[in-house]
Amino acid sequence: MAAEFPELNIVQRSSYEGVEEYLRDSEVIFTLSLRPEQFALCQKLRWIHSPTAAVHQFQFPQLIESDVVLTNSTEVHGPVVAEHVIALIFALAKKIPQAAILQQKHVWGQEPMWIQRPHMREVAGATLGLIGVGSIGRRVAQMASALGMRVIAVREHVEKGSPEGVEKVFAASQIDDLVRQSDYVVLAAPLIAATEKLINAERLAVMKPEACLINVGRGPLVDESALLDALRARRIGGAALDVFDREPLPSDSPLWGLDNLLITPHTAGLTEKLWDRQYEHFSANLRRYFSHVPLQYVVDKRRGY
């Protein structure tokens, strides 16, 4: 990057320790997070770029009220996180985790895998309820509809119509209607005040008894205690979580012991091309910055996405 942008004075830090001395003169910051007291030191800052899609970690009043532009990497992660969602749907539908466990035990598990509910199912014809139609959600809809799934979605602005692959759009006030119809409920919404614990005990009770919940958004979108109770009681068919309230997930978390929960350790966006994609994404915006052209992927700081 230094060769491409010789006017840049690049300071790279592998930890937050001692970073304060560099913040005062920084005009552009590429960072996962920034605390209010660190932001207060920034005297020349004009632009913050986050290598994540979620930006709730930047939602403090001083930054929101400032003129500093915030951009994110939603277009970097959207396509590959959508692939992960599809992989989780197939894993749940075909009971791949159970087969892997039986393989380790040298058990031919055809009968127990078939008898235990929910039964293995066909993905084509199933209904996918999508909560969030940003970069991830739009790509999930395209992939799922191509597999023959019926895709329905909740979006904030119903007047914007149905994204590609979405059969029907519900308003946020109709989320329970979407959940009732869905065989797979996929969370790909941003974490804001209105979406915290969006999936709670009441909403889990609305789900079909064989439906599955998939969360690739942020952990606090789900009330983990309520989900734990629902899975233990087998009130829903199962769940797959890539994100959690606390990360890493504590080793003593009761979630680890559930046989109807598939856990992936926040790896949905990780691929061998991740940093190549990040470089292309950020450097394209950096060219715009130096050319005094409006930046792409700008976050509405007040909305949080």
Euclidean distance between CA atoms 89 and 56, whole angstroms: 27
- Determine contact, residues 191/54, Cβ cutoff 8 Å: yes
Q: Which of 247, 280, 288, 303 is catalytic?
A: 247
Euclidean distance between CA atoms 157 and 137, whole angstroms: 14
- Determine contact, residues 89/123, Cβ cutoff 8 Å: yes
The reply to whether 272 belongs to the active site is no
The reply to whether 232 belongs to the active site is no
Euclidean distance between CA atoms 245 and 90, whole angstroms: 25
SS3 127: strand
Q: Beta-strand (E) ranges in 85-175?
A: 127-131, 150-154, 168-170
**Six-digit token pair at 158?**
């119903």
Euclidean distance between CA atoms 22 and 13, whole angstroms: 10
The reply to whether 180 belongs to the active site is no
Q: Which residues does the annotation mark as catalytic?
A: 218, 247, 266
